[in-house]
Amino acid sequence: MKPAAVHARLTSFLPPTPHPPPSSSLSTSFRLNYWKWRCCASSIESETSDSSSRTDSSGVFPPWFSVAPMMDWTDNHYRTLARLISKHACLYTEMVVAETIVHQQDNLDRFLAFSPKQHPIVLQIGGSNLKNLAKATQLANTYNYDEINLNCGCPSGRVAGHGCFGARLMFDPKFVGEAMSTIARNCDVPVSVKCRIGVDNCDSYNELCEFVDVVASNSPTRHFVIHARKALLNGLSPADNRRIPPLKYEYYYALLRDFPDIKFTINGGITSIDQVNAARRQGADAVMVGRAAYNNPWSTLGHVDTTIYGAQSTRFSRRQVLQQFQIYGDSLLLENDEKRKPNIRQLVKPLLNLFHSEPGNGLWKRKADTALRNCKTIELFLKETLPAIPDHVLDSTILKTPDSSSCSDDFADVLQLLPPPYTNSKQKINSCLM
């Protein structure tokens, strides 16, 4: 390969410079269409539609499937791997605190830079100080994210307690509306909120509706990501908060009924493409998957483009994906700036689940642990570890759709469980006067 071609291939994976140039016409087109999807209230198309009906004239896919923001997990390296497997999944960053952005203005690339190949990508921001949220949004806006999302759902004590944001913000929807207006004024992309269905004892459907109603009435927010569990701020760890509070998918589907002009993404407890399809068959606007997309990226993300979007399979094998990731990783390890150069363990971390449940997976992980002690490049790491994986696993591609013989029934009866329709305060007053 000629040097120029090698350089072009390498730089295509690299993050942008600290102050990226204005978006290209293609990027602008993408962002406008993304905005159009977020703001429009049309229902999603039937799952049986062909691929040509799933895009608009520009070829842009709606974000029907997204990977959840996960602290210490959905970093640049994981998102690079995810995009190599799925071309159309919407990717969220891990949460970045507004104060971090404001106080790290000389080091913003570390927190905000990403390859243009990662579009569509949403920045999740955390914070409760309006001034810092405004400044952080201004700084982030130059990086050309497709949407900015405010974290109103994290139950971590570090976030909801000491920082007084995350899930605790749900106690003050009027402030969240003000915060969303502040964020929207300082960026030129759509804004959204990720929240729980409730917090502590404030967990009725009507209280969730009040939160959505007040935020939407006091800001341009027209997209909410709903984690269908409430958050318990005292006594439960973040991990326990993801499994102990019961899932109430009926709250999500009731929101679709009561707020037809708002888009809602369902999140929580969804671990397979089969469940994603089940949720969409019942009318979900969009579905967000978290740990399954990280713990089993090949089987989860590998079916997104074909099954969710009706696009043709890339027919990439794991070996080919790893070859591309090697280009990305080793280009970063050649970085002269020690502050920007990642640790090889950070780079390899998202790869360790690529062979989930496959023959050789246990041996691969043991070899990886040994290789990380002495390997200085991804190329050497792969050379030492991949012999643990049979060739038929490395070279097979995802061609068939998931087995539908055991279709998920998680959403089969959900429409029969909906709570009574929401009546806001103004409607209650008017009904009393009649």
Return the amino acid letter for 385. Answer: T
- Active-site position among 154, 187, 209, 375: 154
pLDDT tens figures, 273-316 = 999 999 999 999 999 999 999 999 999 999 999 999 998 887 89
Report the C-alpha dihedral over residues 425, 428, 430, 434, rounded to 10 degrees: -170
Contact 389, 259 (CB under 8 A): no
pLDDT class of 408 with cuts at 50, 70, 90: low
Mean pLDDT of 24-32: 42
Looking at the fold, whether 262 and 156 belong to one and the same domain comes out as yes
Q: Which of 308, 335, 355 is the last residue of a domain?
A: 308
- Of the two residues 24 and 82, the one the predictor is more confident about is 82
What pLDDT is attached to residue 399?
A: 67
Looking at the fold, whether 73 and 204 belong to one and the same domain comes out as yes
Q: Establish if 322 belongs to a structural domain.
A: yes
| Mean pLDDT score across all residues of the chain | 84
Looking at the fold, whether 291 and 339 belong to one and the same domain comes out as no
What pLDDT is attached to residue 18?
A: 41
What pLDDT is attached to residue 29?
A: 44
Distance between CA atoms of residues 124 and 144, nearest Å = 13
Mean pLDDT of 107-114: 94
338 has a pLDDT exceeding 80: no
pLDDT tens figures, 363-381 = 999 999 999 999 999 999 9
Looking at the fold, whether 303 and 323 belong to one and the same domain comes out as no
Q: Establish if 3 belongs to a structural domain.
A: no
Return the amino acid letter for 409. Answer: D
What pLDDT is attached to residue 44?
A: 30
Looking at the fold, whether 34 and 124 belong to one and the same domain comes out as yes
Q: Establish if 19 belongs to a structural domain.
A: no
154 is catalytic: yes
Q: Which residues contact 434 (CB under 8 A, 6 or more apart)?
A: none
Looking at the fold, whether 197 and 275 belong to one and the same domain comes out as yes
Q: What is the CATH number of the domain that holds 40?
A: 3.20.20.70
pLDDT class of 401 with cuts at 50, 70, 90: low
Q: Establish if 329 belongs to a structural domain.
A: yes
pLDDT tens figures, 59-72 = 568 899 999 999 99
pLDDT tens figures, 157-215 = 555 444 578 999 999 999 999 999 999 999 999 999 999 999 999 999 999 999 999 99
Q: Establish if 98 belongs to a structural domain.
A: yes
Mean pLDDT of 375-393: 97
Q: Which long-range CB contacts under 8 A does 421-425 form with residues at least 24 apart?
A: 421/254, 421/257, 421/258, 422/205, 422/206, 422/209, 422/213, 422/254, 422/258, 423/206, 424/209, 424/210, 424/213
Looking at the fold, whether 287 and 334 belong to one and the same domain comes out as no
pLDDT class of 412 with cuts at 50, 70, 90: confident
343 has a pLDDT exceeding 50: yes
What pLDDT is attached to residue 361?
A: 97
254 has a pLDDT exceeding 90: yes
pTM for this model (two decimals)? 0.86
> Percent of the chain having pLDDT more than 70?
79
